[in-house]
């Protein structure tokens, strides 16, 4: 205060018109800003890292979705190929007089799988087609512009899946699955299963797809087999407006599954998160500065009133929210449940086909029969499965063929393949039958490799052949 004098002073104290230091309020404000600045920088970095994490998460979710669909597609194709191979091993297939029987077996395939069966010779001429009545005139197989399943089978001798083509009979886009019909180790005919592309579209329409996602099934030429777009999605084949495309190749077919995410769907969560974080950051900064200013004012008032008995109020700095708790729709459980349902349905169709098959089919592992279909139980002379399941397969094979059987089992267990051969079996009642046998491995898990065997009873055919041979011999003697 100007004019304040010391008690023993004879001169007045000097007065200054201006203060030389900063005010306590300004100092407190600067201090708060310096303290907040590192937090602002850290928050900005965390915001950037959060946005990048969201991008990675969206990409991972999209990749998992397309992998799940590609895996379910491969299981669907493998199940049909396996059933088609079973059908190709039918004894009525190569006998021209029994093609009517094979046509009925093919109708069972159609009933179980919903796709027609074609039989063609090596020159690609149709012999049989379940789409038309048996005996109806049939054209040649159509030529496929891209990957041809028929050409692939003839070149490799293995099952193959082809690209789309226009059906010559129903004039609809189709795809074909082909397996070779082998006899004596050589391809004699071709067996095909024809599926309409609408079947893949119907299956794709049942697939759970998040909003803003578009999934497309393409053949080897890039032609669309099936596509599912979000509601109101573009019909542009190039999917303009979509980004973040993920492509997974099928392990069974020359096809690929493509997933595209609309730019708005892909960017909107990122922009929303960025905006929310920026708003929270700005709010926290403003609140911190405001609290600093209020604290400085309060502190200045408290210092100015040190002589007053009033107590200073307790101030607690506000805590700015970093971000809103994110919400993530966990799709993995739903996708897994759908995948399991598809697998169960496929297994049930395959079991139904095996149970109703006229050929004897049984599975054995480690010298023990684990499963036998009704035809196998009847062939072995049993009344129920308990008389067959649990026994050694050697118990039903004539001892003269035990070495042959052991050699074929060893070949299969070491990754090889076997061809159709003849054996004699011994029924439960002691009777003998002559059968054609072929086997293949059907599983490799912790229990060991299992072998699936199919037998066709040819006893009557062999007897007829012997009777004919004897009759021809007598006629030649006459």
Does 78 share its domain with 177? yes
Judged by DSSP in three states, 444 sits in strand
- Report whether 117 contacts 109 (CB < 8 A): yes
Secondary structure element (H or E) that encloses residue 404, with its range: helix 402-413
In a domain, 204, yes or no: no
Does 97 share its domain with 172? yes
In a domain, 4, yes or no: no
347 CB contacts (<8 Å, ≥6 apart)? Answer: none
Structure tokens at 111: 């009933």
Structure tokens at 99: 């093609």
263 CB contacts (<8 Å, ≥6 apart)? Answer: 241, 242, 243
In a domain, 400, yes or no: yes
Does 340 share its domain with 439? no
Supply the pLDDT for residue 20. 54
CA distance 427 to 380: 5
Concatenated DSSP letters of 105-166: HHHHHHHHHS-EEEEE-TTSBEEEETTS-TT----BPPPPSS--HHHHHHHHSS-EE---EE
- Report whether 218 contacts 224 (CB < 8 A): yes
Does 50 share its domain with 171? yes
CA 329 from chain centre, in angstroms, equals 20
Number of domains in the chain: 2
CA distance 40 to 279: 12
Structure tokens at 400: 């003269």
β strands within 235-330, DSSP E: 242-249, 256-262
Supply the pLDDT for residue 321. 36
- Report whether 138 contacts 164 (CB < 8 A): no
In a domain, 256, yes or no: no
In a domain, 262, yes or no: no
Q: Measure the N-to-C terminal CA separation of the chain; round to a whole number of Å.
A: 155
Does 347 share its domain with 291? yes
CA distance 136 to 128: 8
Structure tokens at 73: 């597609």
Does 135 share its domain with 87? yes
Does 43 share its domain with 136? yes
In a domain, 389, yes or no: yes
Structure tokens at 180: 């070779």
CA 276 from chain centre, in angstroms, equals 36
CA distance 213 to 99: 48
CA distance 433 to 396: 10
Concatenated DSSP letters of 324-368: PPP-----HHHHHHHHHHHHHHHHHHHHHHHHH-SSEEEEESSS-
Output the CA–CA distances (angstroms, integers) from residue 456 to 15, 104, 218, 359, in the order listed.
123, 17, 40, 5
Supply the pLDDT for residue 69. 87
**CATH label of the domain that carries residue 450:** 3.30.450.20
Does 106 share its domain with 161? yes
Query: Per-residue pLDDT for the chain (478 aa), expressed as one digit of tens each?
Result: 343 333 333 344 444 444 556 665 666 667 777 777 777 777 777 777 777 787 777 778 778 888 888 898 999 999 999 999 999 999 888 788 888 999 999 999 999 988 999 999 999 999 999 999 998 999 888 888 889 999 999 999 999 999 999 887 778 899 999 999 998 889 999 999 999 999 898 888 887 777 778 889 999 998 999 988 876 555 555 565 566 678 899 999 999 998 887 766 666 666 676 677 777 777 777 776 676 666 666 555 544 544 444 444 444 443 333 344 334 445 666 777 788 888 888 878 888 888 888 899 999 999 999 999 999 999 999 889 999 999 999 999 999 999 999 999 999 999 899 999 999 999 988 899 999 999 999 866 667 889 999 999 999 998 998 889 888 888 888 7
CA atoms within 13 A on the CB side of 169: 16
Does 178 share its domain with 32? yes
In a domain, 165, yes or no: yes
CA 175 from chain centre, in angstroms, equals 19
β strands within 268-321, DSSP E: none
The whole-model pTM stands at 0.48
Residue with tokens 């029994």: 98
Does 274 share its domain with 381? no
424 CB contacts (<8 Å, ≥6 apart)? Answer: 397, 398, 400, 401, 432, 433, 434, 435
Residue with tokens 């684990």: 370
In a domain, 216, yes or no: no
Does 411 share its domain with 439? yes
Which structural domain, as residue segments, surrounds residue 400?
Answer: 359-466
Does 302 share its domain with 387? no
CA distance 100 to 130: 11
Structure tokens at 127: 């012999």
CA distance 278 to 172: 55
């Amino acid at each position: 205060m100007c004019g304040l004098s010391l008690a023993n002073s004879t001169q007045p104290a000097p007065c200054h018109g201006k203060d030389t230091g900063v005010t306590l309020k300004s100092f407190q404000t600067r201090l708060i800003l310096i303290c907040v600045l590192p937090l602002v920088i850290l928050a900005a970095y965390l915001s950037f890292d959060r946005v990048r994490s969201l991008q990675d998460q969206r990409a991972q979710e999209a990749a998992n979705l397309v992998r799940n669909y590609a895996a379910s597609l491969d299981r669907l194709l493998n199940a049909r190929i396996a059933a088609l191979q079973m059908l190709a091993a039918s004894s009525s297939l190569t006998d021209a007089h029994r093609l009517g029987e094979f046509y009925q077996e093919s109708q069972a395939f159609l009933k179980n799988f919903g796709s027609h069966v074609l039989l063609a010779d090596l020159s690609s001429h149709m012999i049989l087609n379940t789409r038309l009545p048996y005996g109806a005139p049939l054209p040649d197989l159509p030529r496929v512009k891209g990957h041809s399943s028929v050409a692939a089978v003839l070149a490799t001798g293995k099952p193959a899946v082809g690209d789309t083509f226009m059906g010559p009979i129903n004039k609809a886009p189709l795809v074909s699955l082909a397996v070779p019909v082998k006899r004596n180790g050589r391809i004699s005919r071709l067996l095909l299963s024809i599926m309409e592309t609408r079947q893949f579209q119907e299956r794709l329409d049942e697939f759970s797809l998040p909003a803003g996602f578009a999934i497309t099934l393409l053949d080897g030429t890039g032609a669309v087999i099936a596509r599912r777009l979000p509601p109101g999605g573009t019909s542009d084949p190039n999917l303009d407006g979509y980004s973040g495309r993920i492509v997974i190749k099928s392990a069974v077919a020359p096809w690929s599954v493509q997933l595209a995410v609309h730019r708005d769907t892909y960017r909107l969560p990122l922009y929303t998160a960025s905006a929310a974080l920026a708003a929270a950051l700005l709010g926290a900064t403003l609140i911190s500065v405001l609290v600093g200013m209020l604290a400085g004012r309060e502190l200045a008032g408290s210092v100015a009133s040190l002589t007053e008995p009033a107590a200073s109020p307790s101030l607690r700095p506000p805590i700015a929210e970093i971000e809103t708790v994110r919400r993530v729709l966990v799709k993995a459980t739903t996708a897994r449940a759908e995948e399991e349902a598809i697998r169960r349905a496929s297994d049930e169709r395959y079991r139904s086909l095996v149970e109703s098959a006229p050929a004897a089919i049984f599975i054995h592992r480690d010298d023990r029969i684990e499963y036998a279909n009704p035809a196998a139980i009847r062939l072995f002379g049993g009344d129920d499965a308990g008389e067959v399941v649990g026994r050694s397969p050697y118990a039903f094979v004539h001892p003269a063929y035990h070495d042959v059987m052991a050699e074929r089992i060893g070949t299969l267990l070491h990754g090889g393949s076997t061809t159709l051969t003849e054996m004699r079996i011994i029924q439960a009642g002691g009777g003998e039958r002559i059968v054609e046998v072929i086997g293949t491995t059907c599983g490799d898990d912790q229990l060991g490799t299992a072998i699936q065997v199919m037998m066709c009873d040819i006893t009557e055919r062999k007897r007829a052949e012997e009777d004919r041979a004897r009759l021809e011999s007598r006629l030649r003697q006459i």
